[in-house]
Structure 1
């Protein structure tokens, strides 16, 4: 089939783009027709195109031939056909416990609540559930993970609900002395870490690694160069003893590859993903902003329906890995180790009083003791001290601040603009140069009484002030 539902991006994706973005995590894709799990087949084949295929045991022809509506891919989580839970495992360092995180959509919660459906958690498929939780709006919020503490130890858990009774196995911890990797998020002490469900680890990525034992404290593992260990600690939970590491792998070397292979993992180079703007805060693993758009830096190209649950027209790409994306509810970008969820909230507006700054004019100003004053002029900005006398020159001003808010402006007194006979006398007093008088230049001009008298004098003397002549020609006198 051409496309499937991506439980990580929470939208439909094409098989071609899924293969390009290394989307091979277990349980990630579901059939858009029937809702069962599918995987990317022939991702690197030269004989056939990449496509989604059901796990063995499903030969539904309608599913295999399903293409959906041509040319359209839904980015709405309601396009999901499967009504089963979406589950992840977490480690919480502040409580030193493991949890199962369940997520349901709004439609799923409403449907389950109407039918009074219970969620059930087991350590074995044939056992009685050790945890039962009603699926309703009191216990779950739409598309937000609800954490269920794990008190009963198991290397795998079986999840089901009372509506269909079918259980689904989720692998959790590695057996024996094999460590289990969790991808770390948060600060150094109160971090959370999500179980790495795939077999791929990435360089320059922080991981929490756990080993468990029933009776004795697990022994540490000798790690080769290229693996940096930040913390090592012991803790008890689920009636087991655990050894925990916080580490990152800086280099890809043969010794590291050999060690990880013995644990069932492989190492690849990491990707980088950063929210540049606007500022955000973290809530339920989502970066919350109050803007319609976000600026992203990524070391990889953003591909609509491949590594971001957006349409192509909602992504504007700039140079050097910077992109502008439109933010919708639960906008998600995911490739390899790089993952971010961006959500938008309406900006909160607090009640406030509007302060209208006053304006005064003065030739000199003595700084009073009722605020903070700054002088703005051609030299820049200068702070003023109490009692300081300032002579205001043209194009200068003083601004008064209270609590870093401008509340007043002081400007220099406006100079009187000269006109008519006063302007003529001012020009003659300050500009003494004279030149030969040419009466033809004034023959077509309409002269005022003041300029007519001056021109008559110029005819007698045979000379004229060139500045006055310019002002007369421009009609300014």
Structure 2
């Protein structure tokens, strides 16, 4: 099969491009025809092109020859044929507990609810479920993870539902006998983190990880690690009847000693990629960036490949410069390559009809403050006013009233008669004291008013003139 459904990108991908994404987690790829799990085949072969094969060994001819429409790849999450759950395992730093994150689409929730289906979680394939939950619109929201706390310890967990009873095995904790910790990937800069289980065998440099050691009877002791592994913090906690030691660390460089240690734990180390949203500025909610735009600009250290590491068509991707690309923003756009992962969701702009608050406006020379949610705005800044205060409003001042942080009242000063003539001159002489040498030549070409002429005559005697008055006379404002 040349294409399959990628549960991470939530779209169909081509085999040759998907192999370059460098991620081979269990249950990631599904048959585009029947929905069964598939794996890569002929990767690096000189005689065959990369393709997908059923992991179970199923050689269904219809699946093997299924191509769909020629060179057509669906980026719609609804093209998924499988009805199996999409699951990830997490550690939450706030509760110090492990969780199963279960995600279902709107169609899956509706179908399961119609068939009265229940989700079940087990520690052994034939054991009784220690957790069950009815799948319906009350317990699940479309494409939103339902976080289920894990209360029983097991190295492996089996997920199933009562509709098909297929028990899918998820390997979570590494065996403690060889001293191997379990790695959880963190978001850079996230202090109140929810770290996601690394389900592949590949780790990356300069990525923060939470590693956990576990024991049933005693707290795991500290382990000496190479200098290239930077430990930021360590902590101990208990959950599921087990004792755990957690370490937040970053692998700064790739050396023979680090490679040897990770290999003994069942991991390998590769250099990390970078992926950043440049524009527009957008909030991060849970694991998604909410964008109120039709397109976004990304920086990446790798090339964005349609149907390979981004769920978009090639004609919708535009390369702006080296490392900078313009990508479309639809209901959900996802980029995934190695350690770099980014989910962008389209956020519709809120309607203004719900945010318009009427503002009561009033004009007055004085104002008696009615309550403590009142503020005076003027050239000096903003001052909080207390109830009962009498405020004289000056030009360019304003009183504003707020309710629950929203402006709902405004008081401005009544208009004052503008000063002119003798009154304006006297006001200037009273408040502006700077003087300069008087020269008749500066005023010979001006048509002087009577007020200005009389003032200049007095200045001729003193040989000094007020600088502000001079400016107003030159501009013929007196």
Inter-CA distance 130–232: structure 2 relative to 1 (3 Å threshold): same
Match in the other structure for 1:232 = 234
State the 1:341 CA deviation. Answer: 0.5
**How far does the alpha carbon of each residue in 1:267-291 deviate from its partner, in whole angstroms, 9 at most, with x for none?**
0000000011111112231011211
Tell me the equivalent position of 2:207.
205
The SS at the match of 1:185 is coil
Residue 181 of structure 1 aligns to a residue in which SS? strand
Q: 1:412 aligns to what?
A: none
Partner residue, 1:319: 321
Partner of 1:5: 5
Contact 1:186/1:192 (CA < 8 Å) preserved in 2? no
CA apart distance, 1:354:
9.6
Q: Deviations over 1:366-385 (max 9, x none)?
A: xxx97449xxxxxxxxxxxx
Partner of 2:455: none
Contact kept, 8 Å, 1:94 with 1:189, in 2: the verdict is no
Task: Verify the 8 A CA contact 1:18 1:40 in the aligned structure 2.
Answer: no
Q: Deviations over 1:94-122 (max 9, x none)?
A: 00000011111110000000011000000
The whole-number CA distance in structure 2 between the counterparts of 1:354 and 1:307 is 50
Q: Which has the larger radius of gyration?
A: 1
**CA drift at 1:83:** 0.2
The answer for the alignment partner of 1:290 in structure 2 is 292
Aligned to 2:437: none
TM-score (norm 2): 0.74
The verdict on how the C-alpha distance between 1:84 and 1:370 changes in structure 2, with shifts beyond 3 A counting, is: closer
For residue 119 of structure 2, give the secondary structure of its aligned residue in structure 1: strand
Between the aligned partners of 2:84 and 2:233, the Cα distance in structure 1 is 37
Contact conserved, 2:235 with 2:245, CA < 8 A, in 1?
yes
Taking the aligned partners of 1:79 and 1:370, their CA distance within structure 2 comes to 58
Could you say what secondary structure the match of 2:262 adopts?
A: helix
Q: Say if 1:387 and 1:134 are closer, same or farther in 2 by CA, change over 3 A.
A: closer
Quote the residue 2:456 is aligned against: none
Gaps of 5+ in 2: 361-375, 381-392, 401-411, 413-444, 446-478
Larger mean CA deviation between 58-67 and 96-105 belongs to 58-67
TM-score by length of 1: 0.74
Instruction: Give the total of aligned pairs.
Output: 376
Matches within 5 A, 1:272-291: 272-291=274-293
Offset at residue 346 of structure 1 (A): 1.4
Deviation of residue 145 (structure 1)? 1.0
Q: Report how far residue 15 of structure 1 moved.
A: 0.1
Which ranges of 4 or more aligned residues in structure 1 deviate by more than 6 Å? 399-403
Name the counterpart of 2:119.
119
1:221-266 deviation digits (Å, cap 9, x = unpaired)? 2110211111101000000000101001110000000000000000
What residue number does 2:256 align with? 254
**SS in structure 1 at match of 2:47:** coil
Report the aligned-residue RMSD.
2.6
Between the aligned partners of 1:170 and 1:116, the Cα distance in structure 2 is: 25
Q: Which residue of 2 aligns with 1:132?
A: 132
Three-state SS of the structure 1 residue aligned to 2:108 is helix
Equivalents in 2 of 1:387, 1:251: separation in Å? 66
Q: For each residue in 1:127-160, what CA deviation from the matched residue of structure 2 results, as whole angstroms up to 9, or x when unmatched?
A: 1100010011111111111110000000000111
Q: Deviations over 1:158-187 (max 9, x none)?
A: 111001112111111001121010101275
Distance 1:186 1:224, change over 3 A: closer
- Gaps (5+ residues) in structure 1? 356-368, 374-385, 389-398, 408-429, 431-477
CA distance in 2, matches of 1:33, 1:197: 25
User: Are positions 1:217 and 2:210 aligned together?
Assistant: no
CA distance in 1, matches of 2:198, 2:284: 21
